[in-house]
Chains A and B, each alone.
Chain A
Amino acid sequence: MSDEGGPGTITVASRLSGYVRGGGVLIPLVTALLAFLVGGLVVLATGSNPIDTYRAIFEGSGLNWLFPWVSGDDRTIAALNLQQTLILTTPLILTGLAVAFAFRAGLFNIGGQGQYLVGTFAAVYVGSSLDGTPALVHVVLSIVGACLAGAAWAGIAGFLKATTGANEVVSTIMLNWTAVYVGLYLFGLGGPLHSDDPAAQSIPVSPDVLESARLPVFWGDPELQGLHIGIFIALAATALFWVLLNRSVTGYEVRAVGFNPDAAEYAGISAGRNYVKVMVICGLLAGLAGALDVLGWQFRIATNDIQVSQVGYYGIAVALLGRNTAFGTVIAALLFGALLNGTSVRNLDPTIFDPQLAGNLTWIIQGLIILFVSAPVLVTMLSRARFRRRPKPMPKPEVLSGGG
């Protein structure tokens, strides 16, 4: 380090940036730990052992597969579990990115759920029609259709914000419900996209995605819902997200508008046009999540799935915990994927923790994470309390009373 300029100023600046960088990893970690801690208290309140419960969840997630000493049958089961965890992680990465990208532009995209849903609709529509199309082409067409549908859906909110100033929080929430009801109509009994399979005439479900549009399984047995290649597509999208945000002209403009729309306007960047662009990109990502779920393992949509799906909403927690960065979002998505899978009825030993309650534990932890992330004051307060416990540098406490 050279010492040009005011030496004092440089120390302060570098110290500050060091703090921010440190906080960048530390605060999400503390947040997640706190959430698990409070979640543990809830487990305790139900009369179960939190440590055993968390261990069971961990094993249910299959993450123990990563430990080399797990072998034999345990390893086989762990592999099966990890495949399921990663299947759940895949769309969470993308819906997380869809929220994170908007955050970086100063927008709050709560519409990941709606964008994801219209993505699944488009994917199931394209994937179940166009019989006879070569496999690769069919997959690509289905994915493109889903991305465009998500982009259009999100673009509505961006367009309304740019032209009328309509708050994107309100419009995306409304679009989420609109998407749900569109789905209920499309795939409901007698709906235009209701399955024409005679066996499904009384079941509100879509037609099946044709073999040619299904994503290949690369790990595990396709019959046992092995891991499809969608995870790689999600990771590739994450890399693209990083380049787009940090290394592209578009990303520069997005961040400029996000930090300071006035100054951006002074540099000739139109905030309104950026809002549309940003929402469209968010919609692409969430729509892609829908495509990967439908083409990778669901292969059809039933109307009750539409109503209970929460993938887009989890994306908000994923983005918040991942601090809206590419890498952070992947890690946070994996955490939530593991939690969802580890607490699922199938995976948790009922003697350790009631599986009926376990799913709710995921909700509790998600809620706590959102609470802690949106209340950074709390985390800061706790950390300051820690610092205060250090011995005070100034001696002579007896003069303190003299001052008051």
Chain B
Amino acid sequence: MLGENGAGKSTLMNVLYGLLQPDEGEILLRGEPVHIGSPREAIGMRIGMVHQHFMLIPVMSVAENVVLASEPRKGALLDRGAAEERVRELSERFGLVVDPRALVEDIGVGQQQRVEILRVLHRGADILILDEPTAVLTAQETAELFKVLRALTAEGVSVIFISHKLREVLDIADRVTVLRRGAKVGTVDSEGATEASLAKLMVGRDVLFRVEKEAASAGKPVLEVDALEVDDDRGLPALRGLSLQVRTGEIVGIAGVDGNGQSELVEAITGLRVPRAGHIRVAGRDITGAGVRGALSAGIGHIAEDRHRRGLILDFSLAENLALREYRRAPLSRFGLLSPKRMDAQAQPLLEQYDVRGGRPETAASSLSGGNQQKVVIARELAEAPQVTIAAQPTRGLDVGAIEFVHKRLLEQRDEGRGVLLVSLELEEIRSLSDRVLVIYEGRIVAELSPDASDEELGVAMLGGQVRA
């Protein structure tokens, strides 16, 4: 089941699982029309669902979580031995290896997902719904999940796999149903389908996977980072004398394995983290230690890594979110008093210009889909044409349409003669957007490569190997 953010995938699945009631239409299960009034009824019909956010109890063991709500009993007590036996039996049958006695809080995300699947199987489900199961998994864990899913289907379990990642769907599915804006646009066999053909179904038009861009015409340095040393939260050195430059009219990509100082670099430049040594200059102005406000007013735009936690205040309206950079100044406020009218007036054209769908100035940010939320962040950060934009994982969790939108906007910044520093774990994104690629390793820039460098060259540099610059 494939579709953009907000296409209606989760809604449909919630109907199948009895969490939502259909206004019209009917559901046929094993050839018969059914009414699914609640999850309990769904479970009774052997439908199981693994949510995007796990519903496990962290302080209880794997076995206890699996049998929860249908426990084997010894008198009034839980029969722990039987529960563990049951988990072992299920794990062996489906190749879902997990220690039944481990506490859920002690095991990794991939394992927790297995516990969720085991729980569903324990209740006898033979239709398994997985809502974006790979969103939280690493590549390795995803590969293992796919092995499990193949074992399940071999045992006769039907799996509905929801995703907006084209490659995964092609990889695991036999048939692909594409939703767009709440309607089915087609069901195709995955054999013979390509990423491009699916993307076209999903978005309704051809999607550019390779970003088309003109050659850069880089000018003077606009962001200069000089011998920067920054500690992480534990007080250990995260950046060890890192230097880099971003010039006007170019996009510089930072490639690297997660945890090599990327977050600390972004936080230092945006004023959230005070460097121990070194300098940061924006258009020649030293902003080292000037704090967030100093960095913002020097002309830094910041597309934060995690829009829910840091980019947006979900309970605020869109107008309030869009005012987050400017609320202290006229015209949004005068003499310490805000003007909601002027905040709305500022928000309305931005929402149109950045194509935020389903949003009015007074709409709560939480009610937008992920892609539209990110558009709000981008509208706020780019509206004033910042000297340099720091984009940290700007497309994480977005569907192809929204990714394309974000990429276009970043290129626009570049083409208008401003600088962009792109920090991303997606090599594909780094390659297609950047004019220069800097590789970060253990808090230093260890290589500068062209975006056309081979995977091998990049990979070697990211792991700290020596590369010819």
Q: Indicate which residue in B181, B270, B310, B313 contacts A259 across the interface (CB closer than 8 Å).
A: B313
Shortest B33–chain A CB gap in Å is 6
Interface positions of A (Cβ within 8 A of B) = 5-6, 8-10, 12-13, 16-17, 243, 247-252, 255-256, 259-260, 262-268, 392-394, 396-397, 399-400, 402-404
Cβ–Cβ < 8 Å partners of A250 in chain B? 336
Q: A16-B367, A247-B340, A392-B37 are in contact. Are A266 and B44 (CB under 8 A)?
A: no
Q: A256-B324, A259-B313, A399-B35 are in contact. Are A268 and B44 (CB under 8 A)?
A: no
With most chain B CB atoms within 10 A of its CB, the pick from A8, A12, A267, A394 is: A267
Instruction: Decide yes or no whether B78 CB sits under 8 A from chain A.
Output: no
Measured CA separation A402–B27 after assembly (Å):
13
Measured CA separation A399–B29 after assembly (Å):
10
Binds A, one of B139-147, B290-298, B417-425, B447-455: B290-298
Measured CA separation A402–B327 after assembly (Å):
60
Binds A, one of B130-138, B356-364, B407-415: B356-364
* Contact call B272/A266, Cβ cutoff below 8 A: yes
- What residue in chain B is nearest A253 (Cβ atoms)? B327
Cβ–Cβ < 8 Å partners of A397 in chain B? 35
Measured CA separation A266–B381 after assembly (Å):
12
Shortest A170–chain B CB gap in Å is 24
Interface positions of B (Cβ within 8 A of A) = 6, 21, 29-30, 32-35, 37, 41, 44-45, 181-182, 270-272, 291-293, 296, 302, 304, 309-316, 320, 323-325, 327-328, 333, 336-338, 340, 356-360, 363-364, 367-369
Cβ–Cβ < 8 Å partners of A393 in chain B? 21
Measured CA separation A263–B311 after assembly (Å):
6
* Contact call A403/B45, Cβ cutoff below 8 A: yes
Q: A8-B181, A263-B309, A265-B272 are in contact. Are A399 and B358 (CB under 8 A)?
A: no
Q: A9-B357, A252-B338, A256-B316 are in contact. Are A266 and B311 (CB under 8 A)?
A: yes
Q: A248-B336, A266-B272 are in contact. Are A5 and B357 (CB under 8 A)?
A: yes
Shortest A325–chain B CB gap in Å is 15
Q: Indicate which residue in B296, B312, B315 contacts A268 across the interface (CB closer than 8 Å).
A: B296
- What residue in chain A is nearest B26 (Cβ atoms)? A394
Shortest B171–chain A CB gap in Å is 30
- What residue in chain A is nearest B343 (Cβ atoms)? A252
Measured CA separation A379–B323 after assembly (Å):
36
Cβ–Cβ < 8 Å partners of B337 in chain A? 243, 247-249
Measured CA separation A223–B211 after assembly (Å):
84
Cβ–Cβ < 8 Å partners of A16 in chain B? 364, 367
Measured CA separation A263–B337 after assembly (Å):
22
Q: Indicate which residue in B293, B296, B324, B359 contacts A5 across the interface (CB closer than 8 Å).
A: B359
Q: A6-B357, A256-B313, A259-B313 are in contact. Are A265 and B32 (CB under 8 A)?
A: no
A-B contact pairs, 7 of them (CB 8 A): A6-B358, A8-B182, A9-B367, A16-B364, A249-B333, A265-B292, A266-B272
